Structure 1
Amino acid sequence: MNSEIKTPWAQSPQEVLDILETSSTNGFSSHQVEERLRIYGRNLLKEEEKITQLARFLLQLKSPVVLTLLIATAISVLVGDIVDAIAIFTIVIINAIVGYIQEAKADNALEALKKLSAPHARVIRGGSIQEIPAADVCLGEILVFEAGDYVSADCRVIQASQLSADEAILTGESLPVNKDTVPVETSAPLGERKCMLFAGTAVATGTARAVVTAIGMNTEIGRIAGILESTDIAKTPLQGRLEQVSNRLLLFCLLVVFLVAILGMVHGEEWLDVLMTAVSLAVAAIPEGLPTVVTLTLVLGVQRMAKRNALVRRLSAVETLGSTNVICTDKTGTLTTGKMRVREVFTLSSGILKEEDAQRNDDALRKLIESSVLCSNASITSDGFATGDPTEVALLYLAKSNNLEHQYLNSAYPRLAEWSFDSNRKRMSVAVQAGSEVIIHCKGAPEALLPLCQLTEKEKVMILEAIETLSSQGRRLLSVATRTLPDPLQEFNVARYKDSVLVENNLTFLGLVSIADPPRQESIIAIQDCKAAGIKAVMITGDHPVTAKAIAQELGIVEDGIFDQVMTGLELEKMSPKDLEGQVEKIAVYARVSPEHKLKIVQAWINKGNIVAMTGDGVNDAPALKQASIGVAMGKGGTEVARQASSMILTDDNFATIVSAVGEGRAIYGNIRRTIQYLLSGNIAEILIMLGAALMGWPTPLAAIHLLWINLVTDGLPSLALAMEPVAKDVLKTTKRPSPKTFFDRRFYLELAFVSIITTVMALALYAYMLKTAGETLAKTYVFSFLVFAELFRSFACRSDQQTAFQMGLTSNLYHLLAVAIPVAFQIFLHHFDLFRALFKVQRIDWGHCLILLVLTLIPVTLIELKKWYVQSRKRSQ
């Protein structure tokens, strides 16, 4: 058999099946699948060849910064300074190893995320339908489709019912193409091959079975992929902005380096020392590991989201997620449980009771529940699996909560006859045996059942008031009644009561049952979190407006007088986009809305300058999901098309998960922001210290090896540890919504300047004092260690913008504690070993002075933490 059939569209279904040696009813066995995967490979488009581990490591040495350092190493060797050459080269290699480890971890994490978001396909194997990863679909496989499914391979349709497919991705055709099983001409162009389904497209309507005729690069979309060559890796908007900042910093550094070099030559320093200092200063000033740290931060955050049932499909979406301020969401199954349940019951003796307040020891209530269950065809298995009409299932769960099992009731009162529900009568009745009597149980719409009941005027008024109250809450109401037939059991004849009118009269009213899809308790809390975080939640549903608003009020979405309007799809249809923009900020609920209307709603919010998350699960939701800033697809009940169009997938279809994901997005944003600030402030301080000393005419305070070492120990482990900072429970309440337009705001630059200037002033003051009292070498030693300790300790303040390190708990991020403790220990012992002292050109610092130095280095972090404490105290006093 060939790896593909040349023209399957020109052959009959049976001919294609014969050529591919497969069966439309049984499919392949597991052995056949293994054999075909071995021969023809997996159903994957060709990916860029993975880089080898050696190549990954060598790439760390390819940057201009590292090449500059290697040149500096060569110069040191040429002039005979072997110690400096070894030291610089060693640090270059260590930096390369750190970068290699970081990139490898990020790549591995991204690969894991790709596997999580891989599309699936339904196939027939061994005579049964199975769901498998799309990559495991093999040539000759029988695929099963329904509306909304993603087509994972090119295939010939062999069975079809009202089938159409969206092929815009291949043909540009905006409307779905009708499909059937009839062969077409061999020369038929792609758009006219009506008996084929193509990989990458989607089933719009109907159902089908099709046999796979091409996989991977042999599919039509695979051929397109083969033509396209792309060598550039797409960067996230965040990374683009970071590069812009790094380029500006580089320009600033070059100017400073040039100035320092000129001043050094003027002051009579050796040209080699000036050259080495200038080179190392340029290297120390640029946080070359920043892009890797940022990517790793995003990946770690995405992995945390995946554990909380939010699968982010695009890494770049994380930044946008944190800026979301509007969430447009479905109701059923997302805000609500998606399961009908009894919300209230009404009896003449007890009035309206919440379901949780209904007790079985109330005789009237017990009769109401028993009658409801007996007049039902639903069932619940021992493992909790329910079958039957959702309304009747709700009645069974009410009985279960009152310790009444439907199996027991059905066996205690055997059914003798049933008069099924129909749309004219709007009710259902059954006859059951109760000892020697025949009891009729009837349930149905109140307007259909109440006229058949024997009621006093007072009772009618009570019932109508209850109906009005419950209807205003958007409940679905059932009325339940009963009657004992005059015939004894032995004389009961079903044929005699064939007409339901003969039994559905003179009924005794038992009560009302209100049924609705209840809101998820976690959704109510999530809506409160949204409000605290400045996020508007908008409900979009196909339900009746009364029902929709009632649920919205229970959830807390509707804010009286502020955000309380309910708009129907019919009203929305009549509004122009401009008119909707003028009203959109007042509309909390859209009812009787079709999926097509979602696009209009999303566009209106976006045009008002908002970052919008939109949920969806159907094929028709795909345009709105794509249009939204963040498209959120349902992982349980959603279609593959919706998932492919989205930026994020909820594996539990729960609104609360969206809100927690927004919190994760803000936390990730905060971690990145603080990490960048930590890196840049330290590097700028180093530049300013060197420039300040040059302007004062002092000897260079830091040798090349010092700058390289500071860059290694303070930028490496601590920055990674800050990226792994746990998410605070109240992150939505304590973290402001990030600006969607800029990453580095005025506050960021002010804090950057504050930290850099404090560190610079203290380092230069220490240097001036030590130059005067202890000599140049010891002065350089103190400044060197001061900067290392000051940077490491300052990282504690970078863990949070609002809380101090002690408020957060020093051990709440053990990675950070280790990331500081290890370099501090290295730095202390560096001064007490002859080899390291010679390598770094420093003098011994006795333990007493070490302690004094450590205390001095705590001053910058203490000032930052005191500033936080002052801000907190001001907020408390307001």
Structure 2
Amino acid sequence: MTERPAYSRTTRETLDAVHTDLATGLSPAEAKTRLAKNGPNALAKGEKKTLAQRFLDQFKDFMIVVLLVAALIAGFVVHEWADAGIILAVVILNAMFGVFQESKAEEAIDALQKMATPNAHVRRGGNVATIPSSDLVVGDVVLLEAGDVVPADLRLVESANLKSEESALTGESVPVEKTTAALTDGDVGIGDRTNMAFMNANITYGRGVGVVVATGMATEVGRIAGMINAADETTTPLQENLKALGKTLTLMILVIAAIVFGVGLWRGAASLPEMFLTAISLAVAAIPEGLPAIVTIILALGTQKMAKRNALVRKLPAVETLGSTDIIASDKTGTLTQNKMTVEKVYYDGQLHDATAGITGGNPLMTIMNFANDTKIQADGTMLGDPTETALVAYGQKHDFALKAKLTGEPRVAEVPFDSERKLMSTIHQLPQGGFLVATKGAPDQLLRRVTRIVDGDTVRPLTAADRDTILAENTAMAKQALRVLMMAYRQIPEVPEEVDSDTIEADLIFAGLVGMIDPERPEAAAAVAEAKAAGIRPMMITGDHQDTAEAIAVRLGIIDAGDDAAVITGAQLDQQSDEEFNRNVTKYSVYARVAPEHKVRIVNAWQKRGKVVAMTGDGVNDAPALKAADIGIGMGITGTEVSKGASDMVLADDNFSTIVIAVEEGRKVFSNIQKSIQYLLSANLGEVLTLFMMTMLGWDLLAPVHILWINLVTDTFPAIALGVEPTEPGIMNQKPRGRKSNFFSGGVGPAVIWQGLLEGALTLGVYFIGITWPVHTGSGEIHADALTMAYATLGLIQLFHAFNVKSVHQSLFKVGFFRNKAFNWAILASFILLAATILVPGFNGLFHVTSLDWHQWLTVLGAGVAIIVIVEIVKWVLRQRKN
């Protein structure tokens, strides 16, 4: 027989099922036993890889595997142990850095999750205790009040006007009023289980008592968390680009190595092992073995900059993904808005006023909005209560209304609590001069029926039909601006009646005024939306709020134009469209109102089918599938649940839309700099390949693997990393998104890699040719040794000079600036010293198979280095002229 769900049981049945006592709760000993048996009340995280697994994962890249093979051959076949050691050092350093960065990102997000862990107030052994929520067990009796975070799934057994905000689970932004009666109408959906309080929900109003019926992964939040942990990871554009690059290089490597190996054996130029090592040397020259480390370092530097701007990146490729974003689908509340209800308009004495206008503390409107209010002001000045009520108290504080002092002189002696049927609440206060004040606030349409008089200046007069029409017109006008409107009224009575209820208190009231409130947009949000649009990115709003509110905020932010109702769609209207129909219509909509979290996945999928890169924000548990489906999921660090943070690629520490736009700019810069590094690396390596290939074909002495690896290590790696911190090029946010189909060779980079690589190889071969035809020393052995050393020095030095050309793909070096990037300047200097040391420092000659050069030879080498800057600058100038 299937066990009955907790919501269908009576209070007595619930207590019996979990074996607890409502008055005393569990004994400490019983709670300890249950905790040991069932484990802590915490969400299980996805299985984490061990340190060893993370380290081994770094060796799965094809280029790394080829290098390892080359190291084994160099050591065990040819007995070049120095070469093998250098190769292994490069590979191991790369792996260590990758592990370090992954661990750093995980530690940061774990710390953020711990900050969100709430405590719980429970009855244990007849006493009330505050314990970590992780120590809760089934059967614990939990006390709830406004401001608490629900620590587990609870069956409510007591409720005093209790309201719970459950948007993290249901997507409904309006707090839910809670009851205690059993729900016996069969299978009841989560949103309708009014006698339950769910883990991670927020109590916004009232008090209550609940019995824990589920903890950890057995809760509703935990059930969804389990689905998320089991979900597959998506592939980012960066990962796709690197994968495609790896395939291209693999094909090139195999073809070149096979040709050289075959030609060498056919000509009898060397033995089988020697020719095999030569082929491997070509492969090493073709592979930018530092690329994985360099990309990781550039991404890591990007994450550090973004962390300083409140964007915590959990997965390194997400940095670059942001740069290719076409769509930013954002929540409204807290991301585009301040997540804080604020008084914006007030109507009294027949006039509509801005909230910034002056109003005296003695004005009846000010008094009523603060007295008919259950907000609690804590010792540190923070407020607990319903967001609407705290907004009224905050308005009073801004206008010097001393609420605590007022309540001391005019204390509350009775009240008629709010209920959803009459939509009113009233409080009764004793007046110093005698008698009592009734303060009433509520929905204008309900409260106006009970009003018979109106404040008119310093007098009170009967309410006329014209007054009534004017009040209703003002209410309608504010509602059309998406303001939530409350009416304030009052009256004085000589004594408190024996029976305090709506009939005896809320009648013959005096109209004091109207208050219009809204969750206002963040001050910087409109500028961020405009910047996103200028960058070719389409910002969209997705919210569970009403259509009018969503549309009004979207217009104020510039997401849509005023009157563009066709750009707004509700969740109900979305449900009426098939997937095929919605996929055709998705470009019409920029605002989604009254949308359930499951609709977000449809929105993501529809845009992705159009080839767009989608960034999606979310803070709720049910947002997690959409965060996983998006190209980049963006979680909320303040309001977000642990599950939504865990499903995200990036977490906003400030829940701010403008932070996303800042991150997009950083992502574009990261891609641009990675592109520069790849252009530099591949053109340099192509030059190395051409040099070795032609030397083999011409029967010249070959550069050894140790030469190629040392050049790659000191003249490739340092400058390539330094190119990764090049300043942002002007106008980067005025460019359109590059799109999902773009790659690292887009924008003229591919052709530049080819012709610049060929140029490097040609200059190096030219210097070698000069070395063997214009000898300074006598004896052919010295001639070839010197020429090989000159080729080695030229190949390295040309790359250092060429690094200056790569500062911009199209712009002149003289416009970009030689020395703006200090890190780059130091990298070039360090690389030059390390390269020159192998030739100039005694003891290195034998290790690196080089000779000492005289000043004529050095002058030839330097001339080749300068030549590449001159030639590239001329070609850039010609291309710019043709484009113009």
TM > 0.5 fold call: yes
Answering whether residue 380 of structure 2 is matched by residue 390 of structure 1, we say no
1:697-729 per-residue CA deviation (whole Å, 9 max, x = no partner) reads: 473463444223212212333444445x37849
> After superposition, where does 1:283-432 map in structure 2 within 5 Å?
283-298=284-299, 301-302=302-303, 305=306, 308-314=309-315, 320-348=321-349, 351-356=351-356, 358-359=357-358, 368-411=365-408, 423-424=421-422, 426=424, 428=426
Counterpart residue number, 1:539: 541
SS of corresponding position for 1:614 = strand
Amino acid across the alignment from 1:750: P
Closer, same or farther: CA 704–497 of 1 in aligned 2, 3 Å: closer
SS of corresponding position for 1:51 = helix
> After superposition, where does 1:183-198 map in structure 2 within 5 Å?
none
Counterpart residue number, 1:603: 605
Please report the TM-score for the alignment, with normalisation by the length of structure 2. 0.72
Amino acid across the alignment from 2:86: I
Q: Distance in 1 between matches of 2:139 and 2:820?
A: 52
Q: Deviation at 1:474?
A: 0.8
1:536-574 per-residue CA deviation (whole Å, 9 max, x = no partner) reads: 222222322222111111122114588962222332232
1:320-343 per-residue CA deviation (whole Å, 9 max, x = no partner) reads: 444332232322222212111111
Amino acid across the alignment from 1:568: T
Amino acid across the alignment from 1:359: G
Query: Does the CA contact (< 8 Å) of 2:140 and 2:211 recur in 1?
Result: no
Q: Distance in 2 between matches of 1:840 and 1:504?
A: 100
Answering whether residue 655 of structure 2 is matched by residue 653 of structure 1, we say yes
Q: Deviation at 1:503?
A: 8.4
Counterpart residue number, 2:733: 733
Amino acid across the alignment from 2:431: Q
1:190-226 per-residue CA deviation (whole Å, 9 max, x = no partner) reads: xxxxxxxxxxx999xx9863699999xxx999x99xx
> After superposition, where does 1:811-830 map in structure 2 within 5 Å?
815-830=823-838
Answering whether residue 428 of structure 2 is matched by residue 433 of structure 1, we say no
SS of corresponding position for 1:737 = coil
SS of corresponding position for 2:52 = coil
1:284-321 per-residue CA deviation (whole Å, 9 max, x = no partner) reads: 22223433444455555456555554455555655544
Query: Percent identity between the aligned chains?
Result: 32
Counterpart residue number, 1:551: 553
Query: In angstroms, what is the RMSD of aligned CA positions?
Result: 5.8
Answering whether residue 497 of structure 2 is matched by residue 476 of structure 1, we say no
SS of corresponding position for 2:763 = helix
Counterpart residue number, 1:836: 844
Counterpart residue number, 1:780: 788
SS of corresponding position for 1:452 = strand
Counterpart residue number, 1:710: 711
Bigger drift between 767-776 and 606-615 goes to 767-776
Closer, same or farther: CA 703–62 of 1 in aligned 2, 3 Å: closer
2:684 to 682, 685, 688: 682
Q: Distance in 2 between matches of 1:37 and 1:364?
A: 56
SS of corresponding position for 2:761 = helix
Query: Does the CA contact (< 8 Å) of 1:13 and 1:158 recur in 2?
Result: no
Query: Does the CA contact (< 8 Å) of 1:529 and 1:732 recur in 2?
Result: no
Q: Distance in 1 between matches of 2:317 and 2:107?
A: 16
SS of corresponding position for 2:329 = strand
Amino acid across the alignment from 1:433: L
Q: Deviation at 1:407?
A: 2.2
Q: Distance in 2 between matches of 1:623 and 1:715?
A: 41
Q: Deviation at 1:855?
A: 6.5
SS of corresponding position for 1:593 = coil
Bigger drift between 454-463 and 605-614 goes to 454-463
1:218-270 per-residue CA deviation (whole Å, 9 max, x = no partner) reads: x999x99xxx9xxx999977556535533442443344345456767899966
Counterpart residue number, 2:90: 95
Closer, same or farther: CA 500–107 of 1 in aligned 2, 3 Å: closer
Q: Deviation at 1:47?
A: 6.5
Q: Deviation at 1:792?
A: 3.0
Query: Does the CA contact (< 8 Å) of 1:364 and 1:510 recur in 2?
Result: no
Amino acid across the alignment from 1:582: R
> After superposition, where does 1:157-176 map in structure 2 within 5 Å?
none
Counterpart residue number, 2:249: 249
Bigger drift between 339-348 and 404-413 goes to 404-413
Q: Deviation at 1:653?
A: 3.3
Answering whether residue 206 of structure 2 is matched by residue 209 of structure 1, we say no
Bigger drift between 275-284 and 748-757 goes to 275-284
SS of corresponding position for 2:281 = helix
Q: Deviation at 1:389?
A: 3.4
Query: Does the CA contact (< 8 Å) of 1:359 and 1:365 recur in 2?
Result: no
Closer, same or farther: CA 256–818 of 1 in aligned 2, 3 Å: same
Counterpart residue number, 2:196: none
Counterpart residue number, 1:194: none
Q: Distance in 2 between matches of 1:741 and 1:286?
A: 24
Query: Does the CA contact (< 8 Å) of 2:15 and 2:211 recur in 1?
Result: no
Q: Deviation at 1:516?
A: 0.7
Closer, same or farther: CA 562–298 of 1 in aligned 2, 3 Å: farther
Amino acid across the alignment from 2:592: Y
Q: Deviation at 1:444?
A: 4.4
Closer, same or farther: CA 339–794 of 1 in aligned 2, 3 Å: same
Closer, same or farther: CA 58–242 of 1 in aligned 2, 3 Å: closer
Closer, same or farther: CA 109–141 of 1 in aligned 2, 3 Å: farther
Q: Deviation at 1:638?
A: 3.8
Amino acid across the alignment from 2:212: R
Query: Does the CA contact (< 8 Å) of 1:325 and 1:536 recur in 2?
Result: yes
Q: Distance in 2 between matches of 1:640 and 1:414?
A: 42
Which structure 1 segments of 5+ residues have no match?
Answer: 1-11, 78-84, 163-200
Closer, same or farther: CA 761–517 of 1 in aligned 2, 3 Å: same
SS of corresponding position for 2:289 = coil
SS of corresponding position for 2:431 = strand
Q: Deviation at 1:514?
A: 1.6
1:497-540 per-residue CA deviation (whole Å, 9 max, x = no partner) reads: 97878886584x65443211111223323322321222222222
Query: Does the CA contact (< 8 Å) of 2:294 and 2:720 recur in 1?
Result: yes
Counterpart residue number, 2:753: 752
SS of corresponding position for 1:327 = strand
Query: Does the CA contact (< 8 Å) of 1:617 and 1:639 recur in 2?
Result: yes
1:455-511 per-residue CA deviation (whole Å, 9 max, x = no partner) reads: 78997787666544433211122344667x6x9xxxx3333997878886584x654
Query: Does the CA contact (< 8 Å) of 2:715 and 2:832 recur in 1?
Result: no
Counterpart residue number, 2:170: none
Counterpart residue number, 1:517: 519
SS of corresponding position for 1:590 = strand
Amino acid across the alignment from 2:700: P
Query: Does the CA contact (< 8 Å) of 2:541 and 2:591 recur in 1?
Result: yes
Q: Deviation at 1:771?
A: 4.0
Q: Distance in 2 between matches of 1:116 and 1:666?
A: 28
Amino acid across the alignment from 1:539: M
1:771-816 per-residue CA deviation (whole Å, 9 max, x = no partner) reads: 4434544443333222212323434555665777787787876554
Query: Does the CA contact (< 8 Å) of 2:537 and 2:736 recur in 1?
Result: no
Counterpart residue number, 1:82: none
SS of corresponding position for 1:750 = helix
SS of corresponding position for 1:713 = helix
Please report the TM-score for the alignment, with normalisation by the length of structure 1. 0.72
Query: Does the CA contact (< 8 Å) of 1:246 and 1:286 recur in 2?
Result: no
SS of corresponding position for 2:556 = helix
Bigger drift between 578-587 and 656-665 goes to 656-665
